[in-house]
Amino acid sequence: MSISSPAAFSPAGAAISSIGIVLRDFRLGGSERVAIGLANYWASLSLDVVLIVGRGEGPLRELVDPAIEIVDLGLPAWLGDTVLAWALAMKARSVFSSRAIDRCYVPGNSHWPVIPALKSLRMSHRPLVVAQVSSPVCREGRSSLEQAGYDWRMRWLLRGADRITTLSEDLARKTCSIIGRDAVEVVPLPALWDEGRPCAPPAHTMTVLAAGRLVPIKGFDVLIRAFSLVANRYFAAKLVLCGDGPERARLEALVDELGLAGRVVFAGYVPSIRPYLDEARVFVLSSHCESYGAVLLEALAAGRQVISTRCSPAVEALLTGPIAGRSVPVRDADAMAEALCEILAEPAPDCDTLAEMVAPFHVSYGGRLYLSLMQPGDTKIEQAAAVDISHSAWSHPAVTHSR
């Protein structure tokens, strides 16, 4: 493993004429939002970017820069995610075979089937493929046989990738071990966009914010039960939930059952949670399991402390001290309530200090690191791009993991 400062990168000098990004659709997903942010950033550098999507529908479509071409493959809505990924792979292969797109970014595990499809193209139409490992590759509860099957599938799908990236050193080590590659690059998740500098919370606010799709795995029922304990102690406390989904009616019934009507607000889908973060004192991630939990980065970048379940390896890496917030066990309403009461009883820390903690996760930093990996030859992250942005804290070294 080595750590070094990035070298300068000039788009004008790079042998990149166009970048294709494959997506299943524009659903409310972390991988989808990151991919759109990278597309917008690369387009801002005057690079030709093409989004190749299985279905051109979804709420995140409105975030795409109008200058970016969207190739809608028109796959049927009834396809499940697994079949959709393979259908996307076959259709995307046809697009790359008929167009001069010389780079491809594969955003996360769900899109890996695209890799062998593209590697079956003739050399003249085969793009350089940069693939991201975005989710844990070893999950609790898998049997040894199930893990062996996953490992085989992972090796087979990723063997055609020219560059492989992960989000953490631990994930890089596990990926190297499974696929037998000599090096896997660690690129901080480029989840942060330019949404303005952080501001201090409004005086005396006790608003608790959470966001995500209203589905069981997000643990909003546990959060509501935890908040009911907090509400008994802090009469000014309010819980705001941004997001929508099939669990909304059940969660609204739980709010009524616990006597929290008027104390819990269901804001529905919002294109950006930043305005809600600006009004909140603390952000809570209550999920049972997350691949990363990019919303924690958004909250810290807005200058807000966070409380998170230990639903992702990223949680402990981000919450390195009490100034950032607290981590609690999954499905533990009492521990979550205790952490909320602790933070609401404390003065809010300096918002700029919190924002600086996650500065390396800005899209302009990760975007240039990815461009460096798209160079021909044996490029490694040590040659990655320096970031030309105003916030000096965003110029951090990157990490390469080698076996």
What DSSP line would sit under 258-310, residue for residue?
Answer: TT-BTTEEEEE--S-SHHHHHH-SEEEE--S--SS-THHHHHHHTT-EEEEES
pLDDT > 90: percent of the chain: 76
With a cut of 90, say whether residue 179 has pLDDT above it. Answer: yes
| Co-location of 101 and 14 in the same domain | yes
Q: Tokens for 49?
A: 């970017």
Q: Is 40:64 a contact under the CB 8 Å cutoff?
A: yes
| Co-location of 235 and 265 in the same domain | yes
> pLDDT (tens digit, 9 = 90+) per residue, 180-229?
988 899 999 999 988 889 999 999 999 999 999 999 999 999 999 999 99
For residues 28 and 343, the model is more confident at 343
Q: Tokens for 284?
A: 């809570």
Largest CA distance in the chain: 67
In a domain, 197, yes or no: no
In a domain, 199, yes or no: no
Q: Is 372:400 a contact under the CB 8 Å cutoff?
A: no
| Co-location of 222 and 137 in the same domain | no
Give CA–CA dist 258/249, Å, rounded: 14
Q: Tell which residue, 130, 149, 131, has the closest CA to residue 139.
A: 149
In a domain, 336, yes or no: yes
Q: Is 177 helix (H, G, I), strand (E, B) or coil?
A: helix
Q: Is 292:30 a contact under the CB 8 Å cutoff?
A: yes
Beta strands in 243-343 (DSSP E): 264-268, 282-285, 305-309, 325-328
Global confidence as pTM: 0.80
In a domain, 104, yes or no: yes
Number of Cβ atoms within 10 Å of the Cβ of 317: 12
Number of Cβ atoms within 10 Å of the Cβ of 397: 13
What is the reported pLDDT for 394?
28
Range of the domain at 225: 207-357
With a cut of 60, say whether residue 285 has pLDDT above it. Answer: yes
> pLDDT (tens digit, 9 = 90+) per residue, 374-395?
998 755 554 443 333 333 332 3
Cα angle 110, 311, 57; round to 5 = 35
| Co-location of 377 and 351 in the same domain | no
Give CA–CA dist 308/296, Å, rounded: 8
With a cut of 50, say whether residue 156 has pLDDT above it. Answer: yes
In a domain, 23, yes or no: yes
Q: Is 188:366 a contact under the CB 8 Å cutoff?
A: yes
CATH number of the structural domain spanning residue 125: 3.40.50.2000
* Res. 138 pLDDT band, cuts 50 70 90: confident
| Co-location of 184 and 75 in the same domain | yes
In single-letter form, the type of residue at position 34 comes to V
Q: How long, in residues, is the chain?
A: 403
* Res. 271 pLDDT band, cuts 50 70 90: confident
> pLDDT (tens digit, 9 = 90+) per residue, 98-112?
999 999 999 999 999
| Co-location of 27 and 130 in the same domain | yes
In a domain, 201, yes or no: no
In a domain, 200, yes or no: no
> pLDDT (tens digit, 9 = 90+) per residue, 53-65?
999 999 899 999 9
| Co-location of 263 and 376 in the same domain | no
In single-letter form, the type of residue at position 197 comes to R
| Co-location of 30 and 146 in the same domain | yes
Please, how many CA atoms are within 13 Å of residue 362, restricted to the half-sphere of its CB? 25
| Co-location of 344 and 364 in the same domain | no
What is the reported pLDDT for 380?
54
| Co-location of 282 and 393 in the same domain | no
Q: What radius of gyration, in Å, describes the C-alpha atoms of the chain?
A: 21
Give CA–CA dist 381/186, Å, rounded: 8
In a domain, 46, yes or no: yes
| Co-location of 353 and 364 in the same domain | no
| Co-location of 219 and 93 in the same domain | no
> pLDDT (tens digit, 9 = 90+) per residue, 245-268?
999 999 999 999 999 999 999 999
CA distances, 89 to each of 15, 29, 252, 402 (Å): 25, 19, 39, 29
Instruction: State the average pLDDT for the chain.
Output: 89
> pLDDT (tens digit, 9 = 90+) per residue, 63-76?
999 999 999 999 99
What is the reported pLDDT for 384?
41
Total number of domains in the chain: 2
